[in-house]
């Protein structure tokens, strides 16, 4: 199965408030709050670290959760946020280009 890389969109506003991440899309003003697990994934979404590595290295280390269950939850979370343009998903690592992100071509 192909790797999945995730990166935070540049068109968002975000702030950690009491352990929960507030995220708002500048494009459509949709407002999200992420719980502590989701906030951990969000903060690690640098476009270069594979999602599986974030789950194994961050989520499973910081929270008492079964790895398979954590991966399924992370996939659902990424799918949902990517549908709103809040997270960008690619099969390749992403690089920063001007004010946007694009997949890094090998």
Using CA atoms, how far residue 41 sits from 7, 19, 97, in Å, is 10, 13, 22
CB of 16 to another protein, least distance (A): 8
Residues 94 and 48 sit within 8 Å (Cβ to Cβ): yes
Q: Which of 6, 12, 78, 81 binds another protein (CB under 8 A)?
A: 12
Residues numbered 67 to 106 that lie near another protein (CB under 8 A) are 99
Enumerate the β-bridge partners of residue 16.
21
Stretch that binds another protein, among 9-17, 43-51, 69-77, 85-93 (CB under 8 A): 9-17
As a three-state string, the secondary structure of 64-87 is: CCCHHHHHHHHHHHHHHHHHCCCE
Per CB under 8 A, which of residues 13..52 are in contact with another protein? Answer: 13-18, 20, 22, 24, 26-27, 29, 31-33
List of residues contacting another protein (CB under 8 A): 10-18, 20, 22, 24, 26-27, 29, 31-33, 99
């Amino acid at each position: 199965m192909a790797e999945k890389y995730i990166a935070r969109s540049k068109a968002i506003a975000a702030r950690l408030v009491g352990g929960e991440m507030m995220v708002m899309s500048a494009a459509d003003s949709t407002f999200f709050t992420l719980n502590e697990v989701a906030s951990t994934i969000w903060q690690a979404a640098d476009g270069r670290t594979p999602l599986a590595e974030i789950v194994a290295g961050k989520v499973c280390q910081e929270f008492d959760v079964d790895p398979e269950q954590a991966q399924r939850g992370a996939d659902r979370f990424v799918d949902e946020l990517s549908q709103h343009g809040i997270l960008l998903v690619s099969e390749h690592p992403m690089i920063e280009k001007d004010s946007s992100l694009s997949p890094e071509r090998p």
